Chain A
């Protein structure tokens, strides 16, 4: 037998293969779309309308609390980001199921570039999450009578980048876990504080210092800030800082997951 040059996939092809897989899986399970937007929608409707009603006696004074917006306007960008952030985070759980059902081995035993594989997977997940985010955005825009197309396009961009960051974070955590049960515990311990400290539901500025400090190391804060900036041109953190914060946190989280995945063995 002659020496044969073994086939090796280009990183691009491996990336494409994993994106393809995530998209096909998503289309095969359409019920997930409904699932992933119901929770944020409930939040928006009950929390949003509830507090709006509570603030009503204040009249226009309420706008002073919420950076010049009414509470629903204040809440909407946060809920959009929350949709994609949560969607991205839970998509990380996928690698845990892959371990459980053996598919992780199928990937690990391929000669493909690990960074390309995991980034392709995260990218594919982020696209499916973007679809969910877009549905949410259109629903909220219709509800609020928001019509600025640039604002909608930019808020989706922010929400998409935010989902990359959260998918990277969720995947990193999932790779360190052995059971889905453990993952759910971490989700609750980590995701809820991150959501509450992101400025999505209440402004960060008046918070006590220790909470404020936590908010500023929370990557989600920058996404929420930017989402509000691109939709309504209001902000409590200078937009340039938010861009830097979002870019840096996303970059770091992606680098961490690539490193983690490259070192993954079955045992």
Chain B
């Protein structure tokens, strides 16, 4: 068996109506790693995951998942994967046990195995007490954990998780992360999408940053952060910030002025660079009103690559989710 469990080559999806959600992505996921797709909402993460899991037909390109082509051999792929979609895919009128039982049956797990495995898996995600509770009484976090447990019934080679902690409170998130980490220890390959940079940073071995349907960077969290080149200094001055920023750029530092006037400067070593920057400001008689430096986060990487903050995109995403919720309520 190959080293790679997922190999996507130039996957593209154009939806009816002409929206090109994924504009050709290629990447490979190694066996046993946690691989993350990080990007804002609407970047094409869910569509890519849909194509890899055979529920969305690619417009062009190929993907080999667990050794089989997703368009030519979808059933073989389905037999080797577990999927937790972004929106719950459960039957709320049934109990946790019934949902898992049906899932097991349609994945070909023998009934005798199911009798043993369902309580085991529910125990792993801390839901054994609510085994016979109908899911309409479950919280969002409980449903997420149940869905992860359910996706493991057929002992898949790859587990796909689409935004596994979206909409969960911090405690529920921590519990889901714990479950995902324990899966890695068991040797399960995990492919997840997320728009939370801390989630990608803490969980993933490797990350692809995706924006507007394209992968714009790929690597380990450390590799990605080193793209930014050391530390980032944020400084805000009163007065002619633009020429100040230009003079800093002339000294060979990558400088960027953010939408709110904050100047972001990428430096190798902030403590050494700071005095020089402050002296330059003093020479220009600019009053410094704010200065701080950070070790780069994945958000800085995203900013570095796109000029936009992932956080800005995130609030957009939340508005969209809120709209979705309202629509759903209204039905």
- Shortest C-beta distance, B104 to chain A (Å), equals 8
Mask for B67-95, Cβ within 8 A of A = 1, else 0?
00000000110111101010111111110
Indicate if the CB atoms of B89 and A105 lie closer than 8 Å: yes
Indicate if the CB atoms of A111 and B92 lie closer than 8 Å: no
**How many Å lie between the Cα of A107 and that of B103 in the bound state?**
8
Indicate if the CB atoms of B108 and A9 lie closer than 8 Å: yes
Partner of B107, one of A1, A101, A103, A110: A110
Partner of B106, one of A2, A3, A14, A101: A14
Which of A16-24, A125-133, A169-177, A207-215 sits within the interface?
A: A16-24
Q: Which residues of A99-117 have CB atoms within 8 Å of chain B's CB atoms?
A: 100-112, 117
Indicate if the CB atoms of B75 and A111 lie closer than 8 Å: yes
- The closest CB in chain A to the CB of B56 belongs to A267
- The closest CB in chain B to the CB of A13 belongs to B105
Which of B33-41, B47-55, B163-171, B283-291 sits within the interface?
A: B47-55
Mask for B178-218, Cβ within 8 A of A = 1, else 0?
00000000010000000000000000000000000000000
Question: B residues within 8 A CB of A112?
Answer: 106-108
Q: Please tell me if B57 contacts chain A, counting CB pairs below 8 Å.
A: yes
Partner of A6, one of B76, B134, B331: B76
Indicate if the CB atoms of A7 and B55 lie closer than 8 Å: no
Indicate if the CB atoms of B1 and A7 lie closer than 8 Å: no
Q: Please tell me if A190 contacts chain B, counting CB pairs below 8 Å.
A: no
Partner of B93, one of A4, A28, A102, A107: A28
Indicate if the CB atoms of A111 and B78 lie closer than 8 Å: yes
Indicate if the CB atoms of B154 and A1 lie closer than 8 Å: no
Question: B residues within 8 A CB of A108?
Answer: 54-55
Indicate if the CB atoms of B92 and A101 lie closer than 8 Å: yes
Indicate if the CB atoms of A3 and B56 lie closer than 8 Å: no
- The closest CB in chain A to the CB of B5 belongs to A1
Q: Please tell me if B225 contacts chain A, counting CB pairs below 8 Å.
A: no
Q: Please tell me if A205 contacts chain B, counting CB pairs below 8 Å.
A: no
Interface of B is mostly: loop
Question: A residues within 8 A CB of B47?
Answer: 267
- The closest CB in chain B to the CB of A26 belongs to B93
Question: B residues within 8 A CB of A29?
Answer: 93
Mask for B1-18, Cβ within 8 A of A = 1, else 0?
100000000000101000
Q: Please tell me if A64 contacts chain B, counting CB pairs below 8 Å.
A: no
Indicate if the CB atoms of A109 and B105 lie closer than 8 Å: no
Q: Please tell me if B131 contacts chain A, counting CB pairs below 8 Å.
A: no
Q: Please tell me if B273 contacts chain A, counting CB pairs below 8 Å.
A: no
Indicate if the CB atoms of A267 and B50 lie closer than 8 Å: yes
**How many Å lie between the Cα of A226 and that of B79 in the bound state?**
44
Q: Please tell me if A259 contacts chain B, counting CB pairs below 8 Å.
A: no
Partner of A13, one of B56, B57, B108: B108
- The closest CB in chain B to the CB of A110 belongs to B106
Q: Please tell me if B309 contacts chain A, counting CB pairs below 8 Å.
A: no
Q: Which residues of B232-290 have CB atoms within 8 Å of chain A's CB atoms?
A: none
Q: Which residues of A1-55 have CB atoms within 8 Å of chain B's CB atoms?
A: 1-4, 6-10, 13-14, 16-18, 20-21, 24-25, 28-29
Indicate if the CB atoms of B15 and A8 lie closer than 8 Å: no
Question: A residues within 8 A CB of B90?
Answer: 102-103, 106
Q: Please tell me if B98 contacts chain A, counting CB pairs below 8 Å.
A: yes
Q: Please tell me if A265 contacts chain B, counting CB pairs below 8 Å.
A: yes
**How many Å lie between the Cα of A28 and that of B135 in the bound state?**
12
**How many Å lie between the Cα of A7 and that of B54 in the bound state?**
17
Indicate if the CB atoms of A106 and B108 lie closer than 8 Å: no
- Shortest C-beta distance, A69 to chain B (Å), equals 42
Q: Please tell me if B109 contacts chain A, counting CB pairs below 8 Å.
A: yes
**How many Å lie between the Cα of A108 and that of B87 in the bound state?**
15
Given contacts A17-B106, A101-B89, A105-B83, 13 further A-B contacts (CB under 8 A): A1-B1, A6-B66, A7-B107, A9-B105, A24-B93, A100-B331, A103-B89, A105-B89, A109-B78, A111-B76, A111-B106, A265-B57, A267-B15
Indicate if the CB atoms of B89 and A7 lie closer than 8 Å: no
Whether A109 contacts B53 in the complex (CB less than 8 A), given A7-B154, A9-B106, A28-B94, comes out as yes
**How many Å lie between the Cα of A110 and that of B53 in the bound state?**
10
Q: Please tell me if A240 contacts chain B, counting CB pairs below 8 Å.
A: no
- The closest CB in chain A to the CB of B88 belongs to A102
